[in-house]
Amino acid sequence: MAQVFMFDALREATDEEMERDTSVFVLGEDVGHYGGSYKVTKDLHAKYGDLRVLDTPIAENSFMGMAIGAAMTGLRPIVEGMNMSFLLLAFNQISNNAGMLRYTSGGNFTIPIVIRGPGGVGRQLGAEHSQRLEAYFQAIPGLKIVACSTPYNAKGLLKAAIRDQNPVIFFEHVLLYNLKEDLPDDEYIVPLDKAELVRQGNDVTIVTYSRMRHHVIQAVKDLTKDGYNPEVIDLISLKPIDINSIAQSLRKTHKLVIVEECMKTGGIAAEIIAQVNDNYFDLLDAPIVRLSSQDIPTPYNGTLEKATVINPQQIIDSVRRLILQ
């Protein structure tokens, strides 16, 4: 076991898969000589050269289209978005091409592409650099979406995503890159479609993902001191949502709190609520509680920015109210 930062865990996964399979390559802005904005591709250019670690112009729609074409011809591209917000410029390619070509070609083409990079609310990055795009991509048929939350699952998920035959949107949170964790020396893979049971409990089910996992864990430490026993699930897979794991937990707790950094309107929590109400409504003893970011552009001002995102105290207060009602 060795302590590894999340950005290094992602770099290790990329390096190992590039070494294992010569069809894997990386492209994006500053991924080569500079080593990536958050150093996820550090030193890979020196090892693999220009043809497998490609520095691109600032033209997301162009290099996304090139990557999808490469995937159609048998390569396995990893596209790094310098910030996931910038990939809105490539939304047409991601939706109409990456998501749909396997279907519209009658299965003649597969699109084994990974689209990864930093997102989420950072620290005073401004509205256009603080996007949470998971809700944008959720409705696109043909995509898989995952959100890593620890160095361990970041490495295992990225390796699984690179090997998958489908397009995978891979969300990393900008504030988690310096998270550190012991990783096994042996190779491991984390499944793309399974939630992680972070903590067992029987009072209430708390479902979360990405950076909010750590806010929930912080809140749970205080809740357990007061005698509460929450169960915590990290979604990991945002599309498809592992609704069976949520239902299994609800059979014990009968109460559900969803914590996300995504906006409330049309967010991941909204989809979970719809699926639970459609299929598992009888398991609920109380209305579902949804804790989401406010439906406004993220302010640059640090105090206002903080006020838009769910914090541990809000989670504590909501869980207490739900259990006591």
Going by pLDDT thresholds of 50, 70 and 90, the confidence category of residue 108 is very high
| pLDDT value of position 126 | 87
Q: Is the torsion defined by CA of 253, 259, 260, 263 positive or negative? A: positive
pLDDT tens sequence across 212-247 = 999 999 999 999 999 999 999 999 999 999 999 999
Equal fold, 2-183 vs 196-324: yes
pLDDT tens sequence across 196-219 = 999 999 999 999 999 999 999 999
Catalytic residue set: 60, 129
For the cut 90, the answer to whether the pLDDT of residue 163 exceeds it is yes
Q: 196-324 has which fold?
A: Rossmann fold (3.40.50)
Enumerate long-range contacts of 33-39, CB under 8 Å, 24 or more apart: 36/80, 37/82, 37/83, 37/118, 38/7, 38/118, 38/172, 38/174, 38/177, 39/7, 39/8, 39/11
pLDDT tens sequence across 267-293 = 999 999 999 999 999 999 999 999 999
Residue 65 has phi, psi (to 5 degrees) of -60, -40
User: Where exactly are the structural domains of the chain?
Assistant: 2-183, 196-324
Q: Which CATH code is given to the segment(s) 2-183?
A: 3.40.50.970
Maximum separation of any 2 CA atoms in the chain, in Å: 61
For the residues 154-171, what does the mean pLDDT come to?
98
192 and 146 Cβ atoms separated by less than 8 Å: yes
Whole-number average pLDDT of the chain: 95
For the cut 80, the answer to whether the pLDDT of residue 58 exceeds it is yes
| pLDDT value of position 261 | 95
179 and 35 Cβ atoms separated by less than 8 Å: no
Do the bridges between strand 180-183 and strand 2-5 make them parallel or antiparallel, or are there none, so unpaired? antiparallel
Q: Using CA atoms, how far apart are residues 254 and 280, in angstroms rounded to an integer?
A: 10
What pTM value is reported for the model?
0.95
Q: Using CA atoms, how far apart are residues 77 and 93, in angstroms rounded to an integer?
A: 14
For the residues 22-46, what does the mean pLDDT come to?
95
